[in-house]
Amino acid sequence: MTGQLMKELAARGHQVDVVSVFPQKEPIPNYRDINIRENDTLILVNQISYDFAFELASMSLEFFSQLAGDGVCQLLEHPAMQDILKNKKGAYDVIVVE
């Protein structure tokens, strides 16, 4: 959903770093893909069927929170994310989470 926003920010001269399992096919000026595709646990992003979404709605909040929380922890352990978190040279004005 935020893809167009990120591309427009890059087109207007902002440096944009995007963490995604769906990197751009063609490079975009000012737009850096941080590809986390090799983490199989994250491949479900944007690939949830209606039936699975309906099933998720019936899960307890505690179970769903644990499921989502585990995914976030795995994402933060990814080497590309660790590089961002430990890099003291860069700074971000805005972080957008989808």
Does the residue 95 lie in any domain?
no
Mean pLDDT by 10 residues, the chain (98 residues): 88 91 90 78 60 77 77 85 81 78
pLDDT given for residue 40 in this prediction: 53
pLDDT given for residue 7 in this prediction: 94
**Same domain, yes or no: 9 and 45:** no
Tokens of 58: 């019936």
Tokens of 21: 């399992």
**Same domain, yes or no: 25 and 56:** no
**Same domain, yes or no: 43 and 79:** yes
pLDDT given for residue 1 in this prediction: 64
pLDDT given for residue 59 in this prediction: 76
Does the residue 97 lie in any domain?
no
- Could you give the 3-state DSSP secondary structure of residue 79? helix
pLDDT given for residue 26 in this prediction: 94
Does the residue 98 lie in any domain?
no
**Same domain, yes or no: 25 and 58:** no
pLDDT given for residue 29 in this prediction: 95
Does the residue 96 lie in any domain?
no
Question: What's the predicted TM-score (pTM) here?
Answer: 0.66
Q: Which domain holds residue 69?
A: 39-90
Q: Report how many domains make up the chain.
A: 2
Are the C-beta atoms of 37 and 7 separated by less than 8 Å? no
